[in-house]
Amino acid sequence: MYIGKIETGRSYKKLLIIFAVISLLLVGFVTYASFSRATIKITPKEGSVSATLDAQIMTQADIDKNKSSGVFVAGRVLEKTVENNYPVNDVATATIEEKARGTITIYNKRDKDQPLLPSTQLLSENGILFRTDARVVAEAGKNVEVGITADQPGESGNLPPGKFKIVKLYQDWQDEIYGETKTATKGGTREAKVATEAEIERGKTEAQNAALSQAIADFRKDLPDNENLLADQASQDVLSVKPSVKTDTETDKFEVAIKLKVRALAFDKDALKKFTQTKLEASIPANKELIEVLADSFQFTASEIDFVKTQGVISATMEASVIPKLSAQIFDKKPLIGLNEWEIKQYFDNNADIKETSVSFSPFWVKSVPTLEDHVEIVINR
């Protein structure tokens, strides 16, 4: 029986097209979901924690028998006597005062000879006293030359040419018998290298410092790696010190012989550092996490050093970098799903413990956090 022709071609094609589109969308979604990734890097706000430790230095034997509480580090006293001759080669120049000298002409306008004895006093117009160097006779109506020397050393004796009166000559004759210099008197001062008291004291100080440096260098040469020498608090006992010249000797160099006893305290630095770090780590608050102990922050100062008893007190400090322990809420990925980069940063910026946030998506076309939580990675930058 004939029932007629059934039309199926066009409907079948539509179904194929719809199926193909749905398949492509499913493949695209699965591909997108499979490859989409988001990495969120969180940098917590970094802070610091410090600790101070007071410890006592004593010998290991005293530590072993000490029953009291406290922190103890082993120490020992190093002692050395240094003897040497320290050269002082840079003696300073000083002004030396001497008696100025010159030549004077004695004029005699009287009609009788006038003898003048050695050391006859002559007074300049500005009141500077000179004396003649030898006996002379100023003959009547003539003149004679004689050397003169200032009575006192110093610059005041350096005078320009001028007139002098003879001090002890009868006053009525002083206008007729007098002296005149035609050239300046000179030599009241001169420059020379002199071992003055100040220079000798400087030499003693330098000699002591050099002897101390030598002793400290010798101590350090034999010091174990775990020990530290308290060089700045070394004791110095000058047993003898003697310069090779007397005070105010004219010389360009001299020596200082010195004998110096030096004592210094050395202690176990590694043990002190370990004790300090232990206290530092114990002082970190429960809501903080240690990042690193700052090795360069380890410092110490010593006091109350007793070289006889081999004792001292040492105070040490140390710092560490810490970050907050972030709450579990930070790692909850559900609130992040679908957020873009700006929204993620805004979300974490509200947390006082977070310094900054960076976000990266992959592949390049992904612009928001994928729906699959295992495709979202939260990393803490320490």
Cα-Cα-Cα-Cα dihedral sign, residues 365, 369, 374, 379: positive
Cα separation, 209 vs 279, whole angstroms: 39
Cα separation, 357 vs 45, whole angstroms: 11
Residues 210 and 177 in one domain: no
Instruction: Write out pLDDT tens, residues 95-118.
Output: 999 999 999 999 999 999 999 999
Residues 182 and 129 in one domain: yes
Residues with Cβ within 8 Å of 113's Cβ and at least 6 positions away in sequence, in order, are: 137, 138, 139, 140
Residues 251 and 103 in one domain: no
The arithmetic mean of pLDDT across residues 8-14, rounded, is: 63
Residues 85 and 233 in one domain: yes
Tokens linked to 251: 């010389």
The arithmetic mean of pLDDT across residues 314-338, rounded, is: 89
Which uninterrupted H or E stretch holds 23? helix 9-35
Cis peptide before 363 (omega within 30 of 0): yes
Asked if residue 366 is part of any domain, the answer here is no
* Comparison of pLDDT for 88 and 380, the residue scoring more: 88
- In the chain, the number of structural domains is 2
Q: In the predicted model, is pLDDT for residue 184 greater than 90?
A: yes
Asked if residue 208 is part of any domain, the answer here is yes
pLDDT bracket for residue 10 (50, 70, 90): low
Residues 168 and 88 in one domain: no
CATH code, domain with 178: 2.40.30
Reduced to 3 states (helix: H, G, I; strand: E, B; else coil), residue 331 is helix
pLDDT bracket for residue 345 (50, 70, 90): confident
Tokens linked to 250: 């004219």
Asked if residue 332 is part of any domain, the answer here is no
Q: Which domain holds residue 134?
A: 99-187
Q: Name 78's bridge partners.
A: 264
Instruction: Write out pLDDT tens, residues 125-138.
Output: 999 999 999 999 99
Average pLDDT over the chain reads 90
Question: At which of 139, 161, 187 does a domain end?
Answer: 187
Residues 249 and 122 in one domain: no
DSSP for 6-19? ---HHHHHHHHHHH
Q: pTM score, two decimals?
A: 0.68
Residues 151 and 207 in one domain: no
Asked if residue 197 is part of any domain, the answer here is yes
The arithmetic mean of pLDDT across residues 47-74, rounded, is: 92
Residues 112 and 182 in one domain: yes
Q: In the predicted model, is pLDDT for residue 33 greater than 70?
A: no
